[in-house]
Structure 1
Amino acid sequence: MASSEKQLKKQAEKGIWKSYFRLMFKAKLPWGWIIFVSALYMFSSTITLAFPNFASKVATGVLKPYIIWGTVGLIVADVIMSGVVRYFNKLLVAKIDVSYRSLIWERLIKSPLRFFDQMKPTTMITRITTDATKISTVLGSYLPSLAATIYGTIGVVAVIFTYDWRLALSVIVYIPLYLIFNLFYGKWNYRAFKETYNRLSTLTQFLSELLMSVPLIKTFVTEKKEDERGHKNLQYYYKANMRRYIIMWVENPINGILSITSDILVILYGGYLVKAEIITISEWLGFFMYIGMLWGMLGSFLMMYVEIKKSQGATDRIAALMDGDLEVSERNFSISKLEDNIVFKDVAFSYGEKPVLGHVDVTIPVGKVTAIVGPSGSGKSTIFSLLQQFYQPNSGEILVGKTPISEYHLTDWRDLFAGVAQDSPMISGTIRENIVYGVNRDVTDAELAEAAEKANALDFIKGFRDGFDTYVGEAGSNLSGGQRQRIAIARAILRNSDILLLDEATASLDSQAEKFIQEAMDTLMQGRTTIMISHDLSNVQDADQIIVLNGGTVDGIGTHDELLKTNELYRLLVQLHTSSSAG
Structure 2
Amino acid sequence: MGAGVSQPALALVAGRISNVLIVYPSNSTEFRREAYENVYIFLGLGGASLIVSFFQFYCFQTVCNRIIAKLRYHYVRSLIRQNAGWFDKNQSGTLTSILNENIEKIQEGIGDKIGVVCRGFTMFFAAIIISFIYEWRLSLVMLGLAPLSFLLVAFQGVKMEKSTVKEFSNIAKAGSVAEESIMGVRTVQAFNGQNEMVNRYKNELTKGKKYSIITSFWSGMMEGFFFFLMYIFLGGGILYGAYLIKVGALTSPGNIFIVIMSQLLGAYFVGLISPPLMGIFKARVAAAVIYETIDRVPEIDVYSNVGDNPDNPNGMVEFKDVHFQYPNRQDAKVLNGINLTIYPGQTVAFVGHSGCGKSTTAGLLTRLYNIESGTVIIDGVNINEINIHSLRKIIGIVQQEPSLFNFTIAENIRISCPEITQERMIEICKMANAHDFIETLPNGYDTLIGDGGVQLSGGQKQRIAIARTLARDPKILILDEATSALDAQSESVVQSALDNAAKGRSTIVIAHRLSTIQNADKIVVFEKGYIVEEGTHQELVKLGGHYANLVKAQQLLPENDNKKNRNKMHKKFDENLGFGRKEFVRAARASNSFRNSQKRLSKKCVDVFKSDDDIKFYKSIPIEDNNQYGNYNVSTIYKNAKEEYKWMIAGFICALFRGLELPACGLTFTYVFQSFSMGHDEMMRSCLNALWIFIGIGVGSWIFQCIGSICYAMSSENLTLKLRIAAFQNVLYQDAGFFDNIANSPGKLITRLATDVLNIKSVVDCRMFLVTHSLTAVVISVIIAFIYSWKLALLGTSMLILLGFGEIFIAYKVMAKNMKLARNDNAGKLAIEIIENVKTIQLLTLESHFINEYLEALDSQKTTIKQKCFLESFNNCVAMSFEPFMYGTCYALGIHIIHSGTNSPADAFQAITGILLTAFAVTMSSSYFPEFVRANSAAKLLFSMINRKAATGNSNVGEKADISGTITFKKVQFTYPQKPNQPVMTNLSFTAMPGQTIALVGPSGTGKSTIISMLERFYDVNGGSLKIDGRDIRELSLEHLRTQMALVGQEPRLFCGSIKENICFGLTKEVSADEIDQALTLANAQKFISNLPSGIETEVGEKGGQMSGGQKQRIAIARALIRKPKILLLDEATSALDSESERAVQEALDKARKGRTCITIAHRLSSIQNSDIILYIENGKVEESGSHSELMSQKSKYYELIKKQDING
Map Cα deviations across residues 174-210 of structure 1 (whole Å, 9 max, x no partner): 33432333232222333334444445x3211112212
Q: Which amino acid is 1:260 matched to?
A: P
Confirm or deny that 1:47 pairs with 2:671: no
Q: Which amino acid is 2:1052 matched to?
A: S
* Contact 1:547-1:557 within 8 A present in 2 as well: yes
Confirm or deny that 1:316 pairs with 2:940: yes
Confirm or deny that 1:372 pairs with 2:1000: yes
Task: Tell me how large the CA RMSD over aligned residues is.
Answer: 3.0
Mapping 1:226-375, distance limit 5 Å: 226-271=850-895, 279=903, 282-299=906-923, 306-326=930-950, 327-331=953-957, 333-338=959-964, 341-352=966-977, 353=980, 354-375=982-1003
Aligned residue for 1:75?
Answer: 698
Aligned residue for 2:555?
Answer: none
Partner Cα distance (1:537, 1:436) in 2:
30
TM-score between both structures, scaled by the size of structure 1: 0.87
Match of 1:92 among 711, 715, 718: 715
Mapping 1:111-260, distance limit 5 Å: 111-118=734-741, 119-140=744-765, 148-199=773-824, 201-260=825-884
Larger Rg: 2
Q: Which deviates more, 26-35 or 493-502?
A: 26-35
* Contact 1:48-1:78 within 8 A present in 2 as well: no
Q: Give the 3-state SS of the residue equivalent to 1:76 in structure 2.
A: helix
Q: Which deviates more, 123-132 or 81-90?
A: 123-132
**Residue 407 to residue 145, structure 1, CA distance change in 2 (3 Å):** same
Match of 2:1183 among 530, 542, 555: 555
Partner Cα distance (2:821, 2:729) in 1:
29
Partner Cα distance (1:193, 1:329) in 2:
34
User: How many residue pairs align between the two structures?
Assistant: 566
Deviation at 1:144, TM superposition (A): 6.5
Partner Cα distance (2:641, 2:890) in 1:
47
Deviation at 1:363, TM superposition (A): 0.9
Match of 2:1100 among 464, 472, 476: 472
Partner Cα distance (1:198, 1:400) in 2:
40
Partner Cα distance (1:179, 1:334) in 2:
56
**Residue 105 to residue 510, structure 1, CA distance change in 2 (3 Å):** same
Partner Cα distance (2:1131, 2:1121) in 1:
16
Q: Which deviates more, 534-543 or 130-139?
A: 130-139
Q: Which amino acid is 1:138 matched to?
A: V
Q: Which amino acid is 1:543 matched to?
A: S
* Contact 2:876-2:927 within 8 A present in 1 as well: no
**Residue 482 to residue 300, structure 1, CA distance change in 2 (3 Å):** same
Q: Which amino acid is 1:159 matched to?
A: I
Map Cα deviations across residues 260-302 of structure 1 (whole Å, 9 max, x no partner): 2321233444345556666555545544432332113444675
Give the number of the structure with larger relative contact order, counting CA–CA contacts within 8 Å between residues 6 or more apart: 2
Q: Which amino acid is 1:398 matched to?
A: L
Deviation at 1:80, TM superposition (A): 2.7
* Contact 1:417-1:497 within 8 A present in 2 as well: yes
Mapping 1:385-424, distance limit 5 Å: 385-424=1013-1052
* Contact 1:417-1:498 within 8 A present in 2 as well: yes
Partner Cα distance (2:1153, 2:1019) in 1:
26
Q: Which deviates more, 431-440 or 464-473?
A: 431-440
Q: Which deviates more, 447-456 or 142-151?
A: 142-151
Q: Give the 3-state SS of the residue equivalent to 2:658 in structure 1.
A: helix
Q: Which amino acid is 1:73 matched to?
A: G
Partner Cα distance (1:252, 1:133) in 2:
22
**Residue 117 to residue 136, structure 1, CA distance change in 2 (3 Å):** same
Q: Which deviates more, 366-375 or 149-158?
A: 149-158
Map Cα deviations across residues 81-134 of structure 1 (whole Å, 9 max, x no partner): 222222211111112112222322332233333323332223333343322333
Partner Cα distance (2:1033, 2:822) in 1:
44
Q: Which amino acid is 2:763 matched to?
A: V
Match of 1:485 among 1105, 1113, 1134: 1113
Deviation at 1:512, TM superposition (A): 4.6
Q: Give the 3-state SS of the residue equivalent to 2:1169 in structure 1.
A: coil
Map Cα deviations across residues 358-384 of structure 1 (whole Å, 9 max, x no partner): 121101122122100111121101111
Partner Cα distance (1:112, 1:480) in 2:
30
Q: Which deviates more, 214-223 or 300-309?
A: 300-309
Map Cα deviations across residues 34-93 of structure 1 (whole Å, 9 max, x no partner): 222222211211233221110233356344243332233113322332222222111111
Q: Which deviates more, 361-370 or 439-448?
A: 439-448
Q: Which amino acid is 2:802 matched to?
A: L
* Contact 1:349-1:355 within 8 A present in 2 as well: yes
Q: Which amino acid is 2:719 matched to?
A: I
**Residue 290 to residue 492, structure 1, CA distance change in 2 (3 Å):** same
Partner Cα distance (1:194, 1:158) in 2:
39
Q: Percent identity?
A: 26
**Residue 165 to residue 237, structure 1, CA distance change in 2 (3 Å):** same
| Gaps in structure 2 of 5+ consecutive residues | 1-627, 677-682
Q: Which deviates more, 425-434 or 187-196?
A: 187-196
Q: Which amino acid is 1:459 matched to?
A: K
* Contact 1:472-1:479 within 8 A present in 2 as well: yes
Map Cα deviations across residues 463-522 of structure 1 (whole Å, 9 max, x no partner): 111111111111211111111122222223321112211111122444454344334433
Q: Give the 3-state SS of the residue equivalent to 1:289 in structure 2.
A: helix
Aligned residue for 1:36?
Answer: 650
**Residue 262 to residue 410, structure 1, CA distance change in 2 (3 Å):** closer
Partner Cα distance (1:556, 1:440) in 2:
41
* Contact 2:972-2:1024 within 8 A present in 1 as well: yes
Partner Cα distance (2:864, 2:905) in 1:
50
* Contact 1:196-1:244 within 8 A present in 2 as well: no
Partner Cα distance (1:404, 1:256) in 2:
65
Aligned residue for 2:545?
Answer: none
Q: Which deviates more, 266-275 or 568-577?
A: 266-275
Partner Cα distance (1:161, 1:439) in 2:
67
Q: Which deviates more, 434-443 or 292-301?
A: 292-301
Q: Give the 3-state SS of the residue equivalent to 1:389 in structure 2.
A: coil
Partner Cα distance (1:441, 1:252) in 2:
57
**Residue 473 to residue 277, structure 1, CA distance change in 2 (3 Å):** same
**Residue 492 to residue 192, structure 1, CA distance change in 2 (3 Å):** closer
* Contact 2:760-2:934 within 8 A present in 1 as well: no
Partner Cα distance (2:984, 2:662) in 1:
68
| Gaps in structure 1 of 5+ consecutive residues | 1-13
Partner Cα distance (2:1133, 2:1018) in 1:
20
Map Cα deviations across residues 192-246 of structure 1 (whole Å, 9 max, x no partner): 34444445x3211112212333333333333443333233223223443344333
Q: Give the 3-state SS of the residue equivalent to 1:495 in structure 2.
A: coil
Partner Cα distance (2:968, 2:799) in 1:
76
Aligned residue for 1:505?
Answer: 1133
Partner Cα distance (1:399, 1:16) in 2:
35
Deviation at 1:139, TM superposition (A): 4.0
Q: Give the 3-state SS of the residue equivalent to 2:1176 in structure 1.
A: strand
Partner Cα distance (2:804, 2:1068) in 1:
60
